[in-house]
Amino acid sequence: MARPNGIRTRTSAVRRASAVRKATSVRKWGMAALAASLLTALPTPAAAQADRAPQPALKIVDNRTEPVFSRADAVHQQVDVETEADSDRDGKRDTIRMRILRPKETDAGLKVATIIEASPYWGGGPDVPFHNVDLDEDGLPLGGQRLTGDARRPSLAAAGPVTYGGYYDNYYLPRGYAVAEVDSVGTGAATGCSTSGGRNETLGAKAAVDWLAGRARGWDPDGKPVGATWSTGNSAMMGISYNGTLPTAVASTGVKGLKAIVPISGISSWYDYYRAGGGVVAPGGYQGEDTDILAKGVTSRANPEVCAPVHDALTAQQDRTTGDFGPFWKERDYLRDVGRIKAGVFVVHGFNDWNVKTKNSVQLWDALKRNGVPRKMWLHQAGHVNPMPLRMEEWLRQTHQWFDFWLYGLENGALDEPKVDVEQADFSWKRQPEWPARGTRDETLRLNSDGLSPWPGAPVRQSLTDAGRTVAAERLVAEPEAANPNRLAYTTGALRKDLRVNGVPRMSVLASLKGTSPYVTALLVDYGKDTRATAGTASDTSRPAVCYGQGIPGDTGCAYRSKHRTESADFRIVSRGWLDVRNRNSLSRQDRVVEGREYALKWDMQPQEYVFKKGHRLGVVLISTDFDYTLRYPAGTTMSVRAGFSSVTLPVSR
């Protein structure tokens, strides 16, 4: 129910005031910390100066840290840090391994903030067979394993067990930051067991923040206790994929000292990574994976066999039979604790990312807004990739500004710029104050027997026969005007002008099922010959490499910009949405489905920003099984839809 305008306005004002108070307090705290660290560099009385050289200090010009420290001379330090968990059940608290690079001046009194990248990937991991997604008529997996795969996802973050890949060290260390790689529990040189988003993983990465702030115990490789005497106590976390999930997990604990996070293609709720609409739905490209497979696939610690009972528990508790939301998934839902976040959050995601789907970032973005957490966001046209080389100089400018503001308290206007950067279909960028764009409104189109229309047509019943077990969705959506008994396709006529969809498309369908598959899948499709971005990018070697930071032997500090890979095609599946009809009333429980009985079904597709061009047709295609995502029941389920009473609602902006 809509609130009266007065209440809504007051609530917004309170949130804005809360955000301003939080930002102001952080700035004041940050300036105090900075002042304290800079005081160490103030001139001392002449008598004292005779015995010691002036202590080093950051160089700040126009409220910006400048590169004055040597990457080549950086101090390399390894620390094992005690966590608050004992996930391998050996009677001792888990430890995580930190590999730190810091300016050599920190050994002479300079105190610096730290940028952390925690990851389960630094140590590699074994190949693990995936779950079989082909089920029998009783919903049980067929014998044997069909798919195997390497759960070590290809990632720009996965650079090796000791080396420093990427650009953090080249760019940020000379500007007065330490950088740290952290082995997540159960991986690399850490102890404990990986649990695919479990609480112990959050506490593991949190321990790095606590050690930097003087609240956790640490030891050097020889077992000697060591503290972070060189640290200001302030830290940030950044990374992509799993490495972008851990920052949100740690921030949701409210840990002190974590001042900023940059989650790139990160998970905000693991349910929305491995489940959707009450059903078992795979991350794109990893059909048959689940929490147990991923946990086994990243386990690279010594004596990995000690984690077998923990991983067996994941298999038992994740529930691939119903897909219901329960305590297992609640533990892995960081959204419920967004109100505890004290860090400034810079959310990043790609519209073509079907691995970590866009819902994970958009629902985090919305929750941050509701809780008054300072935030900004980048949305780009690629997939599950590092956005830095897409727009290198601007990425470095904005992340540098973000870290300087939150970690060193510099008044650089980080919260005064437009909150959102959005890459357009032509690869240009626009900046705007919100996402979805202000002025976005809902437009509902009816699924009529003769196509999509703003007006309801005759309440005709139309049916399809499920063939998704053997036919991919891309084949089922092709040629919407052709007769195809395995799908229902609804399209508009040729659009008279561009139509911009930005937000969450929502389905409302009156339908019945008869057969073994409980899935209803909706596909939002752009019909029209065009050249469009794909998930991939490629190095743009036609232009000179950009030297973004200080190089060292084996690491030049330079990189090529990247460009989007594109493809020309007659159509594009823009968004997808899935529902297990048994969960039509609740994600947490299943209700009986009577064959042939019509049910009012409502579910969401994945958030998107997409322009349907003038002359193209917008389409909605309904199928049951989605070959690349859902469990695959035996073919033959009949789905009947009441056209005229069914609709799609699109968030449209001009």
Bridging pattern class, strands 638-642 and 279-280: unpaired
Q: How far apart are CA 641 and CA 636, in angstroms?
A: 16
Catalytic residue among 194, 241, 268, 647: 241
319 in active site: no
311 in active site: no
* Greatest Cα-to-Cα distance within the chain, rounded to the nearest angstrom: 95
Cβ 529 vs Cβ 570: under 8 Å: yes
Q: How far apart are CA 575 and CA 348, in angstroms?
A: 18
- The backbone torsions φ and ψ at residue 502, rounded to the nearest 5 degrees and listed phi first, read -145, 115
Catalytic residue among 353, 421, 466, 580: 353
Q: Which residue from 286, 119, 141 is spatially nearest to 201, judged by alpha carbons?
A: 119
Q: Which helix (H) or strand (E) holds 404?
A: helix 392-408
Instruction: Name 39's Cβ contacts closer than 8 Å, sequence gap at least 6.
Output: none
Catalytic residue among 311, 349, 380, 384: 384
Q: Give the residue carrying structure tokens 């700040």.
A: 60
DSSP category for residue 44: P
Instruction: Name 598's Cβ contacts closer than 8 Å, sequence gap at least 6.
Output: 510, 511, 512, 640, 642
Q: Which residue from 95, 55, 103 is spatially nearest to 77, judged by alpha carbons?
A: 103
Could you tell me where the beta strands, DSSP code E, fall in 358-492? 375-380, 420-423, 429-432, 441-448, 451-453, 461-465, 488-491
Q: Which amino acid, 168?
A: Y
The token pair that represents 462 in the structure block: 């139309």
Cβ 576 vs Cβ 626: under 8 Å: yes
400 in active site: no
CB atoms within 10 A of CB 22: 16
Q: Which residues are catalytic, by number?
A: 241, 353, 384
